[in-house]
Structure 1
Amino acid sequence: MFVVSLRFSANRSAAGQHMPGHQEWIRRGVDDGVFLLVGGIQPGLGGAIVAHGTSREELESRVAADPFVAEDIVSAEIMEIAPWLADDRLKFLLA
């Protein structure tokens, strides 16, 4: 399981221009079953994604394809989590 942090960079002003492509990239990740949760880092610092069912290499390629990453609107950090305990509602993450 992974947490992807997408923090705004100095090129943040270009976000509006690339927002449709970024939103499509997010939808594709959800539709593919890789992105489990997507949300904003408050207050307006960027976004975060919980990803599952993929390898680090595949996720790195997916993240590099985000227009926000490609256009340096955000900087991406991928953190891998090796879960060993979960609430019953999240047990599927332990598989």
Structure 2
Amino acid sequence: MFLLSLTYKVPLDVVDQHLDAHVAWLKEGYASGMVLASGRKVPRSGGVIFAKGAREAVEAYARRDPFALNGVADYTLTEVNLTMTAEGLEGLKG
């Protein structure tokens, strides 16, 4: 399991110019089964994506994000080995 933390590098009006393309990219990740959950940070300074797969594949996917391609956000990729989960989320364990 991977946690991708995005931090915006530009003002929100610039972020919003790339938001539709970013959402389309996220939908591709959901359709492929790589992306499990995503959302905005509060306050809106970036976002978080939970993803599964091989590190190389997740890194390659992140590089294709329009936010990355257009210099909108920096990414931090953290690998997590979940050992405990709430009931119903057992499939997330490593």
Q: TM (normalized to structure 1)? A: 0.89
Contact 2:8 2:15 in 1 (8 A): no
Contact 1:3 1:48 in 2 (8 A): yes
Which amino acid is the alignment partner of residue 8 of structure 1? Y
1:13 CA displacement: 4.0
Q: Report the counterpart of residue 62 of structure 1 in structure 2.
A: 61
RMSD: 1.4
Specify every segment of 5 or more residues in structure 2 that has no aligned partner in the other structure, as ranges. Answer: none
Q: Report the counterpart of residue 2 of structure 2 in structure 1.
A: 2
**Segment of structure 1 superposing worse, 56-65 or 5-14:** 5-14
Specify every segment of 5 or more residues in structure 1 that has no aligned partner in the other structure, as ranges. Answer: none
Q: Report the counterpart of residue 90 of structure 2 in structure 1.
A: 91
Contact 1:12 1:74 in 2 (8 A): no
Contact 1:11 1:72 in 2 (8 A): no
Q: Report the counterpart of residue 40 of structure 1 in structure 2.
A: 40
1:12 CA displacement: 4.8
The reply on whether 1:25 has 2:25 as its aligned counterpart is: yes
Deviation by residue 1:10-58 (Cα, 9 ceiling, x = unmatched): 3654223222211110110111111111100011111101112x11110
Which amino acid is the alignment partner of residue 3 of structure 1? L
Q: Percent identity?
A: 28
Q: TM (normalized to structure 2)? A: 0.90
Q: Distance in 2 between matches of 1:11 and 1:66?
A: 18
